[in-house]
Amino acid sequence: MSKNKYANIDALEIEVGINTIIEPSASIRGVNGKAKRIVIGDNCYIGKHVQIICDDFELGDYSKIHHQTNVHGYEPCSIGHNLWMGQYCIVDSIGGTTIGNNCGIGAHSQLWSHIKYGDTLEGCRFLSDNPLVLGNDVWMVGHCIVSPITAADKSMALVGSVIVKDMNYNEIYSGVPAKSISSKIGFQFKEVSLEDKYQKMNEYLNEYKALSSNACESIKIVLSKDDIKDDLHSYFVIEDRGYTKRRTEDEIGFMKFLLPEKAKFVPLSLEL
């Protein structure tokens, strides 16, 4: 991990992974000067004029935050692997924000964890901060405004939604205020068997091999952790949706080929 290579990161603890690009015009710091901790994973991209003003910020591998986005807040902001965040977004972490793995936040979306402005001496009733939690595989399609809610795994909000209540597992929401419309249009994800996923992943690997100049022998597609035989290959495990992170050229190339719409995998934690 590279620690002091980025002049535009001002923090006491800095950890930035390999192959990560942070545009020179981006600014990453704490609320009042140096941040306590900034951790950014491997193969990430942080775009032009992005501002991250947060004392404790963490971003997982293969994540992208596009230009002019603003992330700010006093409480920790933790974001998982494979994030895709479009331009001109706002992520507020005054009440604390947690975003899981494989999430998509479309352009011009706003994610809020607090409400304050009105004069409380005059009796304004609206002054609060609460955690905002998005689970894994949550998708805010674009131009969404999100209150401090909990969005369960695989939930989805269509373009222009204003979300003021918690979102249920795998349900699709729309409107102002947003309501579930899954009873009318179905769910974001359908059931797919492990066998079908295994077959599709091998098709993807063959496609990648055809595009790559390498034989890609270091990549193995397996059904379960029980099929992991060594610590030399990059195993993509269908059952766990994880991979054994080796940081090889083939592995990184294959991951970039899969993202964002073919398949999303996160590093496995295991001992061989």
Q: What is the per-residue pLDDT across 129-152, written as a single tens digit (0 to 9) for each?
A: 999 999 999 999 999 999 999 999
Looking at domain 11-185, which CATH architecture does it have?
A: 3 Solenoid (2.160)
Taking a C-beta distance cutoff of 8 angstroms, is the pair 60, 40 a contact? no
State how far the alpha carbon of 3 is from the alpha carbons of 11, 14, 40, 104, 236, in Å. Answer: 10, 6, 11, 28, 29
User: 1: pLDDT confidence band, cut at 50, 70 and 90?
Assistant: very low
Using pLDDT thresholds of 50, 70 and 90, give the confidence band for residue 114: very high
**Which pLDDT score, from 0 to 100, does residue 60 have?**
98
Cα separation values, 111 from 21, 218, 233, Å: 24, 40, 39
Mean pLDDT of 123-131: 95
Residue 16 scores a pLDDT above 70 = yes
Q: Is the pLDDT confidence value at 44 over 60?
A: yes
Radius of gyration of the chain (CA): 20
Residue 2 pLDDT class (50, 70, 90 cuts): very low
The predicted-structure confidence for 82-97, as pLDDT tens digits, reads as follows 999 999 999 999 999 9
Pick from 92-96, 117-121, 166-170, 210-214: least confident: 210-214
Q: What is the mean pLDDT of residues 53-69?
A: 98
- Is residue 258 classed as helix, strand or coil in its secondary structure? helix
Torsions phi, psi for 21 (to 5 deg): -110, 125
Alpha carbon distance 135, 252 (integer Å)? 25
Instruction: Kindly report, residue by residue over 211-255, the tens digit of the pLDDT.
Output: 987 778 999 999 999 999 999 999 999 999 999 999 999 999 999
Kindly tell me if the per-residue pLDDT of 200 is higher than 80.
yes
3-class DSSP state of 217: coil
**Contact call for residues 224 and 239 (beta carbons, < 8 A):** yes
Is residue 245 within 8 A of residue 60, CB to CB? The reply is: no
